[in-house]
Amino acid sequence: MAFFLKTKLWQTGSLDWWAMIDNEDVYLGSREFPLPPEEGDEWLVSSTGHRFKVIESEIRLIAKEEPVESRQPW
């Protein structure tokens, strides 16, 4: 897959997206991940609370929030 990003990213067999950010494997989500990722796209990974954005052709972690799953008392 060629998305023209500087960030190394891959998809697992379970359709989860991962990237190498600051020399660490970082979970980018599954359904939350924008396809294709384009400049300015922003998304929140509900299970981790991490918010990402594509800035200058790189995927960057821009915020850490409370995971959405823990907000709902199921």
pLDDT at 20: 95
Burial of 3 (0-12, 13-18, 19+ CB in 10 A): middle
Phi, psi values for residue 55, rounded to 5°: -130, 125
pTM of this structure:
0.83
Could you read off the pLDDT tens digit of each residue along the chain, which spans 74 residues? 557 899 999 999 999 999 999 999 999 999 999 999 999 999 999 999 999 999 999 999 999 988 876 555 65
Q: How far apart are the first and last CA of the chain?
A: 37
